[in-house]
Structure 1
Amino acid sequence: MLKATTLCTRLMQLGVSDRRMWMLRRPQGAVFWTNVLENFTADQWRQHFRMSRTTFEFVLQLVERSLRRKSTNWRKPLEPHRRLAIVLWWYATPGEYRTISCLFGVGLLTVCTLVHEMTMNVFKRFISLPRGEALQNTINGFAERGYPLCAGAIDGSHIPIIAPQEDAAAYYNRKGWHSIVLQAVVDHNFCFTDVYVGWPGRTHAARVLSNSPIFQMAEENSGYLFPRENSRIVNGVEVPVHLICDAAYPLKKWHMKGFTNHQALTPQQRLYNY
């Protein structure tokens, strides 16, 4: 067997050491940022990113450390502001990965990876059930609208998709088109505080809920989704802080829905439902 030094010498003599690294140059990404985005008006910025430039800079300050990457001998990493812009552009527009890849001058896989990483590791810090002071502010917000001890409203929405090749019928919803189900909780300001998505469009809302992390969290905590000390005793009955929902969902200690059997409701029950 050849020794390592001998092998290296032979390879150098064969010219293997002259192997060059290949990399596709995409200068248009930097051009797009400096010549186009920087010259966007306030309306154009909001139209394409669904937020103001000030909000963009604010979000960048919060996540910049998470977006920084070390430089290597292979290439310089993308700047944090460009990483954030790529993902927000994908969120805000119906553009394909391929389109955004060309626009920002990065690889197709880079766009896909950025969207996945930032969704899983960065943006989830902005979408979380209220706690502490935020929880009290949410309860107060719903109370001002006439409903006490509420920490959010939960419901589902259908996201249109192209019919999949396998088991397409499972995705064909009651509205007459193919979709996946998005279950979301919003606070008194209509801001998302919990998101769960991925079930086929034909799946009933109650089944989606029973398989979601928020359901497991509440059931494993003896039926309390929020701290029990925030509960209130009303006419001898403990009323925990809870979510509100429509009739498609089950009635739970942490999950309140309106009265059913609408044909036989009293005026007070109708008012409660409203």
Structure 2
Amino acid sequence: MELCDLLSPALKRKDTKMRAALTVEKQVAIALWKLAVPDSYRSVGNQFGVGKSTVGAAVLQVANAIIDQLLSRVVTLGNVQTIVDGFNALGFPNCSRVIDGTHIPILALKHQGGQYINCKGYFSMMLQALVDHKGCFTNINLGWSGKVHDARIFRNSGLFEQLQEGTYF
């Protein structure tokens, strides 16, 4: 419900003469269900009593609302000295962030599938994340195919450019 309250300004719709608008709660529920369960749009639509195109629209609208309304709250730079002190307390002196990549499983793409097969043999997209001493995200990079190496993703990221220019910290 907290997520619904936070996303409400971006997701609230008005009824039209043709149909009643989906509530914010139903849009968020549809999106979360689709993102959590590997069901088809049709199956999710049947679960919530809506069409598959409505499911697709709800997922995109909720995702865009999360990016617009919440991403800057969740992914923040934070106070560098506090983070360095936090890592120092954990036994990692002179450390300000931790970076790693992970594979996000996806369904096979019909005409580009070979590009998304990772070294472990399944279809995926890569997520590169930078976190502070508490595990909070300070930078994310998503969208590279699973076949791409972590180092290449890092070298082509905005984070790398900012570090090279000396503007990140």
Of residues 156, 159, 167 in structure 2, which corresponds to 1:214?
Answer: 159
- 1:205 corresponds to which residue? 150
- Percent identity reads 38
- 1:63 corresponds to which residue? 7
- 1:182 corresponds to which residue? 127
Deviation at 1:108, TM superposition (A): 0.9
What 5-or-longer segments of structure 1 have no aligned partner?
A: 1-56, 227-274
Deviation at 1:95, TM superposition (A): 2.7
- Local SS of the residue matching 1:122: helix
- 2:34 corresponds to which residue? 90
Letter in 2 for 1:145: L
In the alignment, the residues of structure 2 paired with residue 210 and residue 74 of structure 1 have an alpha-carbon distance, to the nearest angstrom, of 50
Deviation at 1:225, TM superposition (A): 1.3
Task: Indicate conservation of the 8 Å contact 2:97/2:131, yes or no.
Answer: yes
Q: After superposition, give the CA deviation of every residue in 1:136-155 in whole Å (9 maximum; x if it has no partner).
A: 65444333312356443221
Of residues 62, 73, 76 in structure 2, which corresponds to 1:130?
Answer: 76
In the alignment, the residues of structure 2 paired with residue 113 and residue 157 of structure 1 have an alpha-carbon distance, to the nearest angstrom, of 27
Of residues 87, 91, 99 in structure 2, which corresponds to 1:154?
Answer: 99
Per the alignment, do residues 79 and 162 of structure 1 end up closer, same or farther by CA in structure 2, a change over 3 Å counting?
Answer: closer
Letter in 1 for 2:53: L
1:162-177 mapped onto 2 (5 Å cutoff): 162-177=107-122
Of residues 97, 114, 121 in structure 1, which corresponds to 2:58?
Answer: 114
Larger relative contact order (CA 8 Å, sep ≥ 6): 2
Task: Please give the TM-score of this superposition, normalised by the length of structure 2.
Answer: 0.78
Matched positions, count: 167
In the alignment, the residues of structure 2 paired with residue 111 and residue 60 of structure 1 have an alpha-carbon distance, to the nearest angstrom, of 17
What 5-or-longer segments of structure 2 have no aligned partner?
A: none
